[in-house]
Structures are given as C-alpha cells and as structure tokens.
C-alpha cells in the first residue's frame, strides 16, 4: 500500500458531461451477510469471536478457509482492511518519529510507503512496533470505531474511517502522468467508482513529482483521495486492488454514519 501526501490533489473529472461511468450499484450495495447482529443494547449478539478469529488469522498470514461462506469471507476481508490501515498508520507514526530523530522536523506523512527507501532508526522501529503490538492485542474493537462519540483522528484507524474521510475512491488504469510544476498530474481512466457511486470516465489527481514513476501509463490502480487536500493519497496496485476493493466495499455502509470533520 502506498500512502502519499496529497497536497492540492485537485481531483477533477474530464470527458463529456453525461458520459460518466455508472457504478451506482457499488456504494449502495456494500457487502452483506457479515453474520453479525446487534441486540437491544447495541452490542453484537454474535460474530464477535468470529471477527476476532478472522483478525488473528490475517495477522498470522492464514488464508480464508476452503468453502467459507459469504459471512466468513466478509469478516476476513474486513480484518485484512483493518490490518492494512493499521500498517499505514504505524508507518506514518514512524515517519514522524524519524523526522524528530534526525532533527528535520516531522516527516511528511505522504512519503511513499511501498517503495520505502526510507531509513528508520532503532528508536523509530521500537516505538512503531510497540504501537502495532498494543493495537493488535486489543483486537477488532480498537480498529472499528463506532459512528459518533469518537474523535475524527481515532476514526481513521478503522477501515470505515478511511472510507468515511475519502472524497473519491476509484479503480482504473493510468492513462497518463504529466509534469505540473513541482508535482505530477495523474489522469486515471476509471471503470469502477466506490465513492461516489458514479463519476466521469476520467478523473485526475496530483502527487509529488518524485513519485511519477509509480504511475506509469497502463498501470492498474485503486486510489482513495481524502476530502482534505493535505491528507495522504492511498494508492494500491497488483493483487492489492481486489483485496482493497473488497474491504472498502464492506466498510461503505458503516462509513456513511461516521463524521469526518477534520484531518487527522
């Protein structure tokens, strides 16, 4: 997963009006059949143990059981999404700590995570790893933030929080990447929108110029762009596209009830 500082991402649509890509069935449908129900108190009556088991399986690198039903697959997808979000957040923490250690101020959270040519000092690794262990030990409940009653920064530690704070989530093929001052403008030929439910056939966003190589023409990607211009742009390629799409679809229904009023 690549997390980048979006800057003025300027996501726009191109192409004739009315000739957009209709993906209305994606956001409305989400992923059903999670196998979790709520009792009168609002707490889960069942499925909690199964969700915790799915999270542990993902942490241990175990695959979805053969012949698993839709509910089990959804729980595994949601757990995988939680782990991906956790990894991104831990690396952002590490980047900030690395900046403090080197005396250069907090590192820009948008530095490319996947290529990760960054050097982390021992103190950074110890602190970041400690955060990961604490959050993992706490289980799904830490990662899944209930709508309302939690601050926006905490909400972003959940897969639902990432989706709630996204302005555009789209999947497609990079049509071109062009220099634009100190940044690179990327034009994406979209064939699937998760959020909003539909949009134009092409959309664009900008990334730091040094990251242009990650957006070669013909590259298949899924991007999630925050509603806040200075938030990182999430970028997924290869096998990550399908798995990320799955957990984001699963997070869509709950994300609609979550507030995201400030970056964090």
Contact 97, 124 (CB under 8 A): yes
Give the E-state strand segments of 6-61 in sequence order: 12-14, 21-22, 37-38, 44-46
Q: How far apart are CA 149 and CA 25, in angstroms?
A: 30
Q: How far apart are CA 171 and CA 254, in angstroms?
A: 21
Computed from CA positions of residues 201, 207, 209, 213, in that sequence, does the dihedral angle turn out positive or negative? negative
Q: Which residues of 38-48 are buried (b: 16+ CB within 10 A; e: fewer)?
A: eeeeeebeebe
Q: Which residues of 154-166 are buried (b: 16+ CB within 10 A; e: fewer)?
A: ebbbbbbbbbbbb
pLDDT band at 264 (very low <50, low <70, confident <90, very high): low
Q: What pLDDT, in 10s, does the model give residues 34-49? A: 333 334 334 343 556 7
pLDDT exceeds cutoff 50 at 189? yes
pLDDT band at 209 (very low <50, low <70, confident <90, very high): confident
Q: Which residues pair with 198 in a beta bridge?
A: 22
What average pLDDT does this structure show over 156-174?
A: 86
Q: How far apart are CA 20 and CA 24, in angstroms?
A: 11
**Predicted TM-score of the model (pTM):** 0.48
Rounded to the nearest 10°, the torsion over CA 56, 61, 65, 69 is 60
Q: Which residues pair with 5 in a beta bridge?
A: 232
Q: What pLDDT, in 10s, does the model give residues 69-107? A: 877 877 777 777 677 667 666 655 665 565 555 554 444
Q: Helices (DSSP H) in 7-47: which residue ranges?
A: 24-29
Cis peptide before 28 (omega within 30 of 0): no
Report helix, strand and coil shares of the chain as percent, to nearest 5. Answer: 40, 25, 35
């Amino acid at each position: 997963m690549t997390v980048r500082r979006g800057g003025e991402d300027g996501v726009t649509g191109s192409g004739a009006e009315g000739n957009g890509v209709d993906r209305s069935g994606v956001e409305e449908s989400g992923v059903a059949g999670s196998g979790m129900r709520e009792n009168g108190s609002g707490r889960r009556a069942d499925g909690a143990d199964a969700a915790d088991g799915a999270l542990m399986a993902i942490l241990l690198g175990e695959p979805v059981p053969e012949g698993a039903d839709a509910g089990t697959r959804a729980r595994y997808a949601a757990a995988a999404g939680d782990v991906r979000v956790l990894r991104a957040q831990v690396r952002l923490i590490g980047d900030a700590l690395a900046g403090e250690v080197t005396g250069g101020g907090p590192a820009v959270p948008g530095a490319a995570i996947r290529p990760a040519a960054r050097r982390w000092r021992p103190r950074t690794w110890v602190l970041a790893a400690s955060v990961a262990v604490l959050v993992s030990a706490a289980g799904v409940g830490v990662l899944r933030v209930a709508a309302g009653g939690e601050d926006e920064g905490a909400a972003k530690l959940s897969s639902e929080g990432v989706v709630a704070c996204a302005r555009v989530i789209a999947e497609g093929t990079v049509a071109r990447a062009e220099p634009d001052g100190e940044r690179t403008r990327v034009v994406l030929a979209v064939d699937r929108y998760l959020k909003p439910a539909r949009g134009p056939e092409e959309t664009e966003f900008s990334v730091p110029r040094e990251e242009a190589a990650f957006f070669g023409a013909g590259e298949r990607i899924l991007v999630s762009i925050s509603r806040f211009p200075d938030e990182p742009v999430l970028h997924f390629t290869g096998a990550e596209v399908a798995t990320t799409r799955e957990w984001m679809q699963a997070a869509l229904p709950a994300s609609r009830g979550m507030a995201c009023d400030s970056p964090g």
